Amino acid sequence: MATIKQALGQAKTLQQVSDSWKLDADLLLADSIEKPREYLFTWPDLKLTESQLEKFDNYCCRRLTGEPVAYILGRQAFWDFELIVNPSVLIPRPETELLVETALTLLDNSASATILDLGTGSGAIALALADANKHWAVTAVDSSEAALGVAQENARLLQLSNIEFIQTSWCDELPADHFDLIAANPPYVEAGDKHLSEGSLPFEPIAALVAEENGLADIRTIAEQSRHCLKQGSWLLIEHGFQQKEAVERILLDTGYKNIECVKDLANLDRLTKAQYVK
Ligand SMILES: C[S@@+](CC[C@H](N)C(=O)[O-])C[C@H]1O[C@@H](n2cnc3c(N)ncnc32)[C@H](O)[C@@H]1O
């Protein structure tokens, strides 16, 4: 039987599909033997059992088809959590943590707040904000029933009860003049974009990725509809493509927002825009 070190060496074939093949192999093997990743470095000469090796081989075969590690393992790290994910939700990205950080700065630990997460997917943004202050009331919306099921399961596992989940299209049926902050990571990829056939994207729900009007249709709808739901002086935060800064700024100006400002991510890319609703 192969040792941990040998199994990881054989996983070099993952190079064909992944730049991060070493990390992928570690995560897949650690899960196969039901141990933390560090265990692999501590016990490299430990022999694997037949069933552990079979599980690892099976994981590697799936990874070789391009299937993302997050879907194979059914979980993804985001913020302070490990979230359950499946192919009905977008795999939460590290970039989206910037949206959470920006929201937290704007909310400034206020004693109470009403927050809306539009297009919640796995619940990533809603969960991070609900966890930051248990007195905040978070509403998480998605049009996908399956996605909302995943988000609700994540809230249950994290024991967060200050989130209400609603299946609707963006702000349809939501109360007027109600929210202190609206956060959205909407679909913003243009149909036919070549990146849709790369990396994890072919495995992720198309409704979570693609929007009409060069990727801007959902951003426009959110900007228009959010005006109805935001309280006077409160904030809308929208994550967008790094080349969409000017277009998003134009939409927000045209829909009457003020104090519009783009925020860059750690790679110095234009990642999200915040705007204030002032009547
Ligand atoms: C880019 S994903 C974001 C998921 C999650 N917020 C995150 O950051 O990982 C966009 C989400 O918007 C949802 N969505 C797409 N169209 C929608 C609509 N008309 N109304 C509500 N949600 C929608 C998708 O189902 C998907 O979960």
| pLDDT given at position 176 | 96
Q: How far is the CA of 144 from the centre of ligand 1 (A)?
A: 8
Q: How many other C-beta atoms can be found within 10 angstroms of the C-beta atom of residue 263?
A: 16
| pLDDT given at position 258 | 98
Task: Express as a percent the part of the chain with pLDDT over 90.
Answer: 98
Q: Whose CA is nearest to atom 18 of ligand 1?
A: 169
Q: How far is the CA of 192 from the centre of ligand 1 (A)?
A: 19
Q: Whose CA is nearest to atom 19 of ligand 1?
A: 169
Q: How far is the CA of 184 from the centre of ligand 1 (A)?
A: 8
Q: How far is the CA of 151 from the centre of ligand 1 (A)?
A: 11
Region 238-247: what's the mean pLDDT? 98
| Burial class (CB within 10 angstroms; exposed 0-12, middle 13-18, buried 19+) of 72 | middle
| For residue 150, pLDDT beyond 90 | yes
pLDDT, tens digit, 9 for 90 and up, residues 3-57: 999 999 999 999 999 999 999 999 999 999 999 999 999 999 999 999 999 999 9
| pLDDT given at position 126 | 98
Ligand 1 binding residues, C-beta < 6 A: 89-90, 92, 96, 119-122, 124-125, 141-144, 147, 169-170, 185-187, 207-208
pLDDT, tens digit, 9 for 90 and up, residues 174-204: 999 999 999 999 999 999 999 999 999 999 9
pTM for this one?
Answer: 0.96
Asked if 56 and 32 count as a contact pair (C-beta separation under 8 A), the reply is yes
Q: Whose CA is nearest to atom 6 of ligand 1?
A: 120
pLDDT, tens digit, 9 for 90 and up, residues 92-117: 999 999 999 999 999 999 999 999 99
Strands 179-184 and 210-211: unpaired
| For residue 119, pLDDT beyond 90 | yes
Q: Which atom of ligand 1 is nearest to the CA of 209?
A: 1
Contacts of 44 (CB under 8 A, 6+ apart): 3, 4, 5
Contacts of 151 (CB under 8 A, 6+ apart): 89, 120, 121, 122, 123, 126, 127, 140, 142, 165
Task: Determine the 3-state secondary structure of 180 from DSSP.
Answer: strand
CA-based nearest residue to 226, from 272, 183, 188, 164: 183
Q: How far is the CA of 119 from the centre of ligand 1 (A)?
A: 3
| pLDDT given at position 140 | 98
Region 127-144: what's the mean pLDDT? 98
- For the chain, where are the E strands, in sequence order? 75-78, 81-84, 114-118, 137-142, 163-167, 179-184, 189-190, 210-211, 230-239, 258-264, 270-276
User: Ligand 1 pocket: which of 144, 171, 196, 209 to mutate (most atoms <8 Å of CB)?
Assistant: 144
| pLDDT given at position 1 | 83
Q: Mean pLDDT score of the chain, rounded to an integer?
A: 97
Q: How far is the CA of 121 from the centre of ligand 1 (A)?
A: 5
Q: Could you give all domains of the chain from N- to C-terminal order, each with its CATH number?
A: 4-66 (1.10.8), 87-276 (3.40.50.150)
| pLDDT given at position 279 | 80
